[in-house]
Amino acid sequence: MQISSVFIIANGLKKESMELSREIMEYLRAKGIAVSVVSTETDEDTLSVPVDTDLVITLGGDGTVLYAARAVSEMGIPILPVNLGTFGYITEVGKDEWKEAFEYFAEHGTNISRRLMLRISVYRQGHRVWHASALNEAVISSAGIAKVISLELSLDKTVAGSFRADGMIIATPTGSTGYSLAAGGPILDADMSAIIITPVCPFTLSNRPLVTSGRVVTLTVRKGQRTDLLLTADGQLFFPLEEEDTITVEKSRSRALLVKSLRRNFTEVIRDKLHWSGEMHA
């Protein structure tokens, strides 16, 4: 890989981020690589990444990676995610190993995980009124106090059924270790190309999580809701829904390109995060 320009996204809420960004800047500039840094304190900030950027480095946690992935989703720019806390499910690279991950990527360009992203659209009276991309998931839930919502689910053009639940999660394999997992969904290998549909506390016990390979997932807000509804993308973008709105979720043509750690893989991360010791604990 010929790397000439690097863009650093530092989580301004983490004290170490600016100190580490200065260290990385000095290292890269000594190699003749152009570097720019932006410090963010909210996931709602508008981020403009230069088109000539060869690599984005994120300093923070999983939330910072989600933010960056949406910003470069159609640009094909790899992201080196450096974790400043405990290892996240997405941010495998520790703050003491960013250099070796960078050097291996610069020399070989093979330590890349190509992650599925979602394309989300909301249609109201036949017109698209909102759209977004997501690396983890799209969630439809009550906007107020906990109340059951009612949705109709279709896969492609086939009606799969009506669901009454606290919410509905449409997740990627990357997002399978997030909210979907907490709601009882399965864990998928991060490099798979599949979509998980997970009801949140469904009113009917036969409503179970579903994994589909490549269909367009369509959810329609049914009439007679007893609460306001909210659509959330990656837990960072929000859009209020109305009755009879139609939400489509499908695979994006773009992938999130994440530079992988050389010291641990996806299995090791979930083993340690979920404390899979192999022994029974009382």
Q: Is residue 44 part of a domain?
A: yes
Q: Is residue 281 part of a domain?
A: no
Q: Exactly one of 45, 52, 62, 166 is catalytic; which is it?
A: 62
How many whole angstroms separate alpha carbon 121 and alpha carbon 10?
A: 29
Q: Is residue 279 part of a domain?
A: no
* pLDDT tens for each residue of the chain, 282 residues long: 789 999 999 998 888 898 999 999 999 999 999 999 998 877 666 788 999 999 999 999 999 999 999 999 899 999 999 998 765 778 888 889 999 999 999 999 889 999 999 999 999 999 999 999 999 999 999 987 768 999 999 999 899 999 999 999 999 999 999 999 999 999 999 999 999 999 999 988 778 899 998 789 999 999 999 899 999 999 999 999 999 999 999 999 999 999 998 887 778 878 877 878 665 554
Q: Are residues 176 and 157 in the same domain?
A: yes
State whether residue 274 is helix, strand or coil.
Answer: coil
Global pTM? Answer: 0.91
Based on the number of CB atoms within 10 Å of its own CB, is 89 exposed (0-12), middle (13-18) or buried (19 or more)? buried
Q: Is residue 280 part of a domain?
A: no
Q: Are residues 11 and 36 in the same domain?
A: yes
Q: Is residue 278 part of a domain?
A: no
Q: Can you give the CATH number for the domain in which 12 is found?
A: 3.40.50.10330
Q: Are residues 51 and 100 in the same domain?
A: yes
How many whole angstroms separate alpha carbon 197 and alpha carbon 175?
A: 11
Contact 266, 187 (CB under 8 A): no
Q: Are residues 93 and 134 in the same domain?
A: no
Q: Is residue 244 part of a domain?
A: yes
Q: Are residues 82 and 184 in the same domain?
A: no
Q: Is residue 47 part of a domain?
A: yes
CA separation (Å) from 71 to 65, 76, 93, 276? 10, 10, 20, 34
Q: Are residues 131 and 186 in the same domain?
A: yes
pLDDT at 35: 96
The two structure tokens encoding residue 180: 């979907």
Q: Are residues 197 and 91 in the same domain?
A: no
> Total structural domains in the chain?
2
Q: Are residues 89 and 211 in the same domain?
A: no
Q: Are residues 179 and 245 in the same domain?
A: yes
Domain that holds residue 70: 5-111+260-273
Q: Are residues 95 and 146 in the same domain?
A: no
The two structure tokens encoding residue 232: 């959330």
Q: Which parts of 12-54 are beta strand (E)?
A: 34-40
The two structure tokens encoding residue 92: 């495998």
Mark whether 156 is an active-site residue: no
Q: Can you give the CATH number for the domain in which 167 is found?
A: 2.60.200.30
pLDDT at 90: 86
Q: Are residues 269 and 232 in the same domain?
A: no
Q: Are residues 86 and 167 in the same domain?
A: no
Residue 75 phi, psi dihedral angles, 5° rounding? -105, -15
CA separation (Å) from 225 to 16, 114, 120? 46, 39, 22
Q: Is residue 282 part of a domain?
A: no
